[in-house]
Structure formats: structure tokens, C-alpha cells
Structure 1
């Protein structure tokens, strides 16, 4: 199997978008992890994608804007909300790299319902806020309608722009699809957007329970990569089967297991 290269532009242009959205005021926080520690969390037909033998856990808070079906335009109110996701990196039997979302907290109920029922993503309705004060971003999240679920708070100061992203920075951000359970199989859903305008960033504070709530080990060390971007507009294509790997009837996907080996 030949694995597609890591490139700043998509290897699979989306010609007929099924979904559009904008990812804005986004921070990438990443920690290294051994692939064997997270392999059991991935859906059938995929395995951890690794760089120099190491894969990564991502915590990504941001502001979603203009979500809409088809070519758009997106909805200005219902399609705009705060979101934080916990994610892993995958490669499938056809060599396509992607993202696997272990959890997606969002502050608006309708996108949560559409994401769970329509795209089979593990969305959760949460109280969230994004504040910018004197150039410092503060992302807060408290999961669930009761307010008793796991919480997250990240404080970040964006810095200088990155002219040439490193191999690691490209590996973590240049992801042109996601792997999801889809009607008894695993599907790859492609996306397309302009190259990320990436910036260095300083993590001023982090208090997070979302990573461990997703079934991952607690990340006790500081993240090895902290990046900021003002954002991009994104187009998603239609799902395509991973390959021969089928989920047996009644078998849970790796996303639904949420238990690290």
C-alpha cells in the first residue's frame, strides 16, 4: 500500500461539495503518543498514522462559522458556534490519511444533532466561549446540559507567522479527510481548503479533562506543538468506503469504544 504524501494542498479536490463551513480562530495543541496506545480507538480498516514512529493526540478549540449544506452559502446564525475536538490521526487501506474524532463539543444544539445523526460523529452539546483580550485567546468548555461534565480551558497568545511549516507541523495540520463509521462500514470523507496560514503560539494556561474523557491517557507534559491560525473556508465531499474492512453487525467502531488499550 502506498500512503499519500503529506502536502499543504489537498491531493483530492472536492468538485461537488456536500457541506461547507469555516474554521476560525483555531488553536492546535498536540502531544506525542505511541501508536499502540491509540490503535484500539480507530475505526475498522484504519491504523494510526505516524511520523518517525510516533503518532499524536490533538486538542483543537476554534470558532465554527457558516456551516451549510451543498455548495453554500452557510447559515450565518445557526451555522456559527464554538467547538473543541479531540482527535487522532489515521491512514486507511487505500493509503489515504485522515483524522479520527474521538469527541466534538459544540455550543449549538442543531449542529450537534445533525452531526450525530447525519455524519455519525461523536458530537456533544456543551457550554462554550471564546474570548479575545489584548491579543490573548481564551477557550472554555463545559460539557453537557447539566454542566457537570468534563471541562476544558486553554489560554493562548498567537505569535509570528510561519513561512515554511516543518514536517511535523504539516503532518498535524495538512489533513484532507476524516474516517468515520458509515452504515456498517468505515468511510473516508474528503475535505478541501486553502493552505493553513499558521502562526507560532504560546500556551499561557491549560486545564483540560476532554482528552481523558475520550479514553486517552492523561497528557502530563506540555504539548510539543502549539499553533494558531485565523482560519480557512472548507468544502467537504461525499463519503467513500475505506475498502474491504467491514464492521460486523453489532460491533462498535473504534470511535464509539473510547477505551485505550
Structure 2
């Protein structure tokens, strides 16, 4: 089964968006991990997506703005909040690459409830803050609403030069056009569409994080191999489609996986 290539542009346009959201002031931190260490954490019908035999764990804090249902303008207050997600990378039996969220911490209760019960995403209501001072971004997160009750995260970065031509790894980690979600006993793929990410190099100044291990992932004792920043894009989500079961061993579709960007 051929896997769809990773490109900076959306491979399939979303003509009738079910959800629109602005993702701004993002920092992408990534660590390599062996696929077999995370395979059991992915929904049925998907497997770890890999680049040169390696998959990745991502920690992504950002500011959400203007979340809204349908194509209309998002909500100015309830639709604006800080979020931090822990994510993995997946591919399904139809060759569609995606993201699997292990946790999503957010500061607005209503979006958390909508995400948990409407889309079946593992949202958690948390205390978070994003501060920009002298060109340095500081993201803080404390799970739950009381001090000392849950895991915390602190990320401090200094964005640097814009990236004119992303590497194969940078595209693999950021140019994702859908997510895989467990849904009432099956797995669905939710496509999305947005402009190519405007990416910048970034310097990691400080990191103290408990969210990755709280999401059931192995500890990441080494510094991240990729640190990126983006001022953000507006994302449009389309209608979900069911992921077909993965073919049994010996019955896989012929063909080879394409390399990202080719």
C-alpha cells in the first residue's frame, strides 16, 4: 500500500469545513522513538508512521484563536485559549498519514468538554499561560485547576530565522493533513486543510515537562532533536471517514512507501 507523500501543501482540499480554528505561536518539540515502543498506543487500523525507520513523540504548546463550528467566524472569547498537546504520528491502511493525540491540555472548559465528548479527543482542563518577553516565549501548564494536583510543563524558547526550505524531517513532523481518532469502537480519519506552516528555527532555553510520561510514553531524557516555531495558520477540518482494518499478514497491498517530499 503506497503511503501519501508529505508535502507543505494540503493534498486534499476541505470544501465544507465542520470546524475552523486558528493555531498561533506554536512551538514544536520532537524526540525520536522506536516504533515498537509506541505502536500499542495508536488506534486500531493504524501503525506508527516512520522516517528512516524512526517515529517521533511531539510536545506542542500554542495559542488557539477563533475556534468555531462550520465555515463561519470563530468565537472571540470561548474560542481563544492556550493548549499543549502530546502527539504521535500514524499511517492507516489507506496510506493516509496523520497525528494521534495522547493528551491535549487546554484552559477553556467548554472546548475541553466539546473535544472530549464531541470528537472523542483526550482533552484535559488545565491552567496554562503563554508569555512573550524580549523575543522569548514561555509556555506553562499545570494539569487540573489546583496546585500540586497533576503533571506540569514549562517550555521556554527563542524563535530565530525563518526556514526557506524545510528538511524532510521538518516536513514529516509538521505537514500533517489529518488525525486518527478512536470513535465508538472504530477508528476515523479527520482531514484538515491549511496554508503551509511558516516555520522558524528556535532555541530551547528551558524545558521541564511531565506531560509526556503522563500520556503513557517513555521518558525522554535527551534534548529534543527538533525545535521549531511557527507564528501559525488557520486550520479547516473536514468530515470524518472510517479507517478500514489493516490487511492481515501476507495480504498487504503491493507497493512501497514513498519518502516524504517525493
Report the TM-score when normalising by structure 1: 0.93
Structure 1 unmatched runs, 5+: 246-261
Shift of 1:61: 0.1
Shift of 1:184: 1.6
Shift of 1:78: 0.2
For 1:123 and 1:168, the matched residues in 2 are separated by 27
CA-to-aligned-CA distance 1:59-101 (integer Å, 9 cap, x gap): 0000000000000210010000000000000000100000000
Task: Establish whether residue 62 from structure 1 lines up as the match of residue 55 from structure 2.
Answer: no
Which residue in the other structure is 2:30 paired with?
30
For 1:209 and 1:145, the matched residues in 2 are separated by 16
Farther off after superposition, 7-16 or 75-84: 7-16
Which residue in the other structure is 1:94 paired with?
94
Which residue in the other structure is 1:220 paired with?
221
Report the TM-score when normalising by structure 2: 0.93
After TM superposition, list the pairs within 5 Å mapping 1:137-148 onto structure 2: 137-147=137-147, 148=149
For 2:72 and 2:167, the matched residues in 1 are separated by 33
Which residue in the other structure is 2:196 paired with?
195
| 8 Å contact from structure 1 (residues 19, 72) kept in 2 | no
- Find the residue that maps to 2:66 and give its secondary structure: strand
Which residue in the other structure is 2:77 paired with?
77
For 2:12 and 2:78, the matched residues in 1 are separated by 29
For 2:83 and 2:135, the matched residues in 1 are separated by 20
Which residue in the other structure is 1:155 paired with?
156
After TM superposition, list the pairs within 5 Å mapping 1:239-250 onto structure 2: 239-244=240-245
Which residue in the other structure is 1:180 paired with?
181
| 8 Å contact from structure 1 (residues 191, 236) kept in 2 | yes
- Find the residue that maps to 1:53 and give its secondary structure: coil
CA RMSD of aligned residues (A): 0.7
- Find the residue that maps to 1:128 and give its secondary structure: strand
Farther off after superposition, 178-187 or 110-119: 178-187
Task: Establish whether residue 12 from structure 1 lines up as the match of residue 12 from structure 2.
Answer: yes
Structure 2 unmatched runs, 5+: 247-262
Shift of 1:145: 2.3
Q: Which runs of 4+ in 1 moved over 3 A?
A: none
Which residue in the other structure is 1:44 paired with?
44
Shift of 1:226: 0.1
- Find the residue that maps to 1:243 and give its secondary structure: coil
